[in-house]
Amino acid sequence: MITRRHLISTILIVAIEAPLARAEPATANDPVAIVTAIYARAAKGKGDGGGGFVIENKAAKAKYLSKSLIALWAKADAHTPKGDVGPIDFDPVTNSQDPDVKSFKVETEKLDATKALIAVTITGRNTPPPKPADQVIRYEFVREAGGWKIDDIKGSSDGEAWSIRAMLSDSLKG
């Protein structure tokens, strides 16, 4: 005999699980999946490895970055005097010189067929920055050749906004 309690709990389970079953699974080339994979790797171990692997060489840039951002970066690097540090002298993935990633939260702020804006809030093991905005890094994605690529990374340092694209562009002016 089915009790009212059993019937209600069955209905609730079906109501909760049905949308999950119909939801499209994230693909490896979905902006949220890409950012989640980046931060899962950055948070491994003591979380001090950082996200330099995203920009460490041409192959890494080709995997993660848009063609226009790669071209701008190459132009900025070519414009940098030999022996000087390039315009990006920190780890933009962790918004730091000394990476510290204990956990992270990924949120989709905007998503359409050609562009996406993904925000990541990082929590470290050490003292958090004085400005909470410094814990948030935003990724602008564009669709390129059927896949998603990072077109800009934005954050703030001591509450002052920064953008990788703007920093690279600014380095060409001087």
Q: What is the DSSP letter of 92?
A: T
Q: Are 41 and 120 in contact (CB under 8 A)?
A: no
Per-residue tokens: 66: 């848009």
For domain 27-173, is the CATH number 3.10.450?
A: yes
Per-residue tokens: 159: 């509450």
* Helices and strands in the chain, H and E counts: 5, 5
- Average pLDDT over the chain, rounded to whole? 86
pLDDT at 86 over 80: yes
- Please give the C-alpha separations between residue 15 and each of 9, 21, 25, 96, in angstroms, as whole numbers: 10, 11, 19, 44
| Averaged pLDDT for residues 29-35 | 94
Q: What is the pLDDT of residues 118-142, one digit of tens each?
A: 999 999 998 888 899 999 999 999 9
pLDDT at 40 over 70: yes
pTM for the whole structure: 0.82
Q: Are 75 and 138 in contact (CB under 8 A)?
A: no
